[in-house]
Structure 1
């Protein structure tokens, strides 16, 4: 029986930006996030990866992983909106961004861009027989889920990813399958 890649995507622990409903900067895990991590465990893996941001590195380290930084796992680039509360964004710009997955009124990445970046990364893992744990961001987990399901970019915001959620994807026959439970 041929071995297939198994990918466990873990979203980072809570941050102050999440609590404030703000677009994040490179910030640490919050006090709440540190309390979440006390109860959390990581799946057994052959390879551990993390996004380059502080909150993902702190999460991976607290989970007992010794990860390698993978730049393609980085958070969505929110451009001018980084560090800004959602309520402070002009309503017209926010409406465009929420309605159109290809829009980037903040000057950063569009949702479409994140999905393409994540799909490229997933494709690079398809021939790996390893179990991989990757600590990353909700946006990347959403994008990976859409890629696995072949779902449209318009479904991006319909996927709720909680802090420390684990999403499993198994590679088989040139595609990724979402595995629940």
Structure 2
């Protein structure tokens, strides 16, 4: 049976409390190496590796394929834009404290339709993650495994999609759990949902 691994990128080199979404911030090099070594021991032979365009994901994918030549890079050279983190528009690079409670409350009050900072709505992200999931399923053969090196928002979207949720109406529907930086989940296709790897 096929298995999908959902890997969150290593710790980014960004100040705590900053909304960094699609900002192309680098990963901590020591943490990247640690995550690479752990993943290299865990992933099955011949897995297809997909990654977000952001360097904190792309560099991990590259490093992983270098130490595990059996892994197959399945993303375009610049990465798969459908695996990018949510676009927070003008909020990116600002601290959550500076954005203020009113701005965040306006988003959560109209969670289905409000695009924070003029970026993307949560439902737009769900749509493109769903597209990435369909493409991965179509391109990965029975018994093969796939790896997404991506972001927390993308992983949470796939958790919802696996539960049959293709659109959210309320902030309370958004998953609060998920892997920390450098951690992952995996699930077998056809299983009830993601389970810790």
Task: Judge same fold: TM > 0.5, yes or no.
Answer: yes
The verdict on how the C-alpha distance between 1:106 and 1:176 changes in structure 2, with shifts beyond 3 A counting, is farther
For the structure 1 residues 123 and 81, does the alpha-carbon distance in structure 2 shift closer, same or farther, using more than 3 Å as the test? same
Q: Where does residue 27 of structure 1 map in the other structure? A: 25
**Among 5, 8, 19, which residue is 1:8 paired with?**
5
Is 1:117 the counterpart of 2:128? The answer is yes
User: How far apart are residue 134 of structure 1 and its match?
Assistant: 1.2
SS at match of 1:159: coil
- The farther-off stretch of 8-17 and 26-35 is 26-35
- How many Å apart are 1:76 and its aligned residue? 0.7
Match of 2:98 among 80, 88, 91: 88
CA deviation profile, 1:85-113 (whole Å, cap 9, x unmatched):
11110321111223443221310012221
Q: What does residue 177 of structure 1 align with?
A: 193
Contact 2:115–2:121 (8 Å) recurs in 1: yes
**TM-score normalised according to structure 1 size:** 0.82
Task: State the secondary structure of the residue aligned to 1:63.
Answer: helix
1:100–1:32 CA distance, 2 compared to 1 (3 A)? farther
Query: Structure 2 unaligned runs (5+)?
Result: 67-71
CA distance in 2, matches of 1:157, 1:32: 29
How do residues 17-96 of structure 1 correspond to structure 2 at under 5 angstroms?
Answer: 17=14, 19-24=15-20, 25-30=23-28, 33-34=31-32, 36-37=34-35, 40-42=38-40, 43-44=43-44, 45-64=46-65, 67=73, 68=75, 69-96=79-106
Deviations 1:54-87 (A, max 9, x none): 1111222333466322221011111001111111
Q: TM-score, normalised by structure 2?
A: 0.76
Deviation at 1:12, TM superposition (A): 0.1
State the Cα distance separating 1:35 from its structure 2 match. Answer: 6.2
**Runs ≥4 in structure 1, deviation > 6 angstroms?**
none
For residues 118-133 of structure 1, what are the structure 2 equivalents within 5 Å? 118-127=129-138, 128-129=140-141, 130-133=144-147
Partners of 1:5 and 1:131 within 8 A in 2: yes
Q: Within 5 Å, which residues of 2 pair with 1:153-164?
A: 153=168, 154-164=172-182
Q: What is the CA–CA distance in structure 1 between the aligned matches of 2:149 and 2:134, rounded to whole Å?
A: 18
How many residue pairs are counted as aligned between the two chains?
Answer: 175
